[in-house]
């Protein structure tokens, strides 16, 4: 592969990345209803893409159902969250001709991950959401550039042929650095460094999981909504994986 081909996707990737970063940063800073609304839109788009990936006859309806269920989950008591989101996924699954179980797993993962992000901003505050977002972004960016520049053995070639061990390790290092920077401001202390590496790794596994679904369905991208990134799932799969890890860590009282 020539050097030009290797970096050919950098310009559209960077431009759309900057746009998403600006929108996300503004919503994170604002919090409240603005951030909750963005999370609901995200959940709806993720459900829509998941439905399209599995040939739903009504992906738009699935997306709206997911967004509405997520909005209700963000305001209702926690005991209602899982049944509500699961019900939305089951309703959407009825529009699929086959492979309903893999779709349900993918869509439920997306909605729960989006819910964790929304609750984290509402309950834990701005600083912790910034930590989560930066762990994922720095891990992804450092892994992308290290993988492109260094290459080397593949991390999991059968599922994600582009990912290398060099990029994966660089992602862990980047996540650890973010953890070190937030250890003091959050009051978490040095334990946040290994926890950040764990969350970064969970984000990488989220990326791997989505790659496995796309290979199963024989597609390159979840959609073409975001130039240089593909679909919403292609951009937020790592964030969803990291969010689930943070949800577990919060339940254990570690974050």
Q: In this model, does residue 179 exceed pLDDT 80?
A: yes
Which of 252, 170, 250 has the alpha carbon at shortest distance from 204? 170
What's the predicted TM-score (pTM) here?
A: 0.88
Torsion of CA 88, 90, 92, 93, to 10 degrees: 160
CA dihedral 78, 83, 85, 90 (to 10 degrees): 180
pLDDT band at 196; cut points 50, 70, 90: very high
What pLDDT does residue 135 have? 96
pLDDT digits (tens, 9 = 90+) for 205-242: 998 899 889 888 888 888 887 776 678 998 899 999 99
Domain boundaries of the chain, sorted by first residue: 31-124, 125-255
Q: CB 5: neighbour CB atoms within 10 A?
A: 8
- The pLDDT of residue 241: 95
| Number of Cβ atoms within 10 Å of the Cβ of 139 | 32
Helices 81-93, 59-75: axis angle to 10 degrees equals 170
Round to whole Å and give the CA distance between 88 and 69: 6
pLDDT exceeds 80 at position 73:
yes
Q: Examine the pLDDT at 182 and tell me if it is beyond 90.
A: yes
Report the SS3 class of residue 223: coil
Q: Which residue has the higher pLDDT, 214 or 19?
A: 214
Q: Across the chain, which distance is largest between two alpha carbons, in Å?
A: 55
**pLDDT at residue 215 in the model:** 87
pLDDT of residue 5: 47
State which of 2-16, 19-33, 147-161, 226-240 shows the largest mean pLDDT: 19-33
Q: Cα dihedral sign for 105, 251, 185, 73?
A: positive
């Amino acid at each position: 592969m020539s050097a030009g081909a290797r970096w050919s996707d950098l310009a559209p990737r960077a431009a759309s990345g900057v746009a998403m970063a600006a929108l996300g940063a503004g919503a994170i800073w604002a919090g409240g209803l603005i951030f909750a609304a963005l999370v609901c839109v995200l959940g709806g788009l993720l459900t829509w893409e998941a439905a399209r990936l599995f040939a739903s006859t009504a992906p738009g309806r699935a997306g709206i159902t997911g967004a509405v269920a997520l909005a209700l989950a963000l305001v209702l008591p926690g005991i209602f969250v899982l049944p509500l989101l699961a019900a939305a996924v089951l309703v959407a699954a009825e529009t699929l001709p086959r492979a309903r179980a893999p779709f349900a797993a993918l869509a439920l993962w997306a909605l729960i991950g989006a819910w964790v992000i929304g609750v984290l901003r509402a309950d834990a505050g701005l600083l912790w959401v910034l930590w989560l977002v930066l762990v994922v972004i720095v891990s992804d960016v450092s892994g992308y550039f290290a993988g492109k520049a260094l290459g080397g053995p593949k991390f999991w070639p059968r599922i994600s042929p582009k990912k290398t061990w060099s990029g994966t390790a660089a992602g862990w290092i980047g996540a650890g650095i973010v953890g070190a920077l937030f250890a003091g401001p959050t009051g978490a202390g040095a334990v946040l460094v290994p926890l950040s590496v764990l969350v970064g790794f969970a984000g990488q596994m989220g990326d791997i999981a989505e790659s496995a679904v796309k290979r199963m369905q024989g597609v390159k991208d979840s959609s073409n909504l975001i130039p240089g990134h593909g679909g919403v799932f292609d951009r937020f799969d790592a964030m969803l994986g990291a969010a689930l890890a943070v949800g577990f860590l919060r339940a254990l009282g570690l974050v």
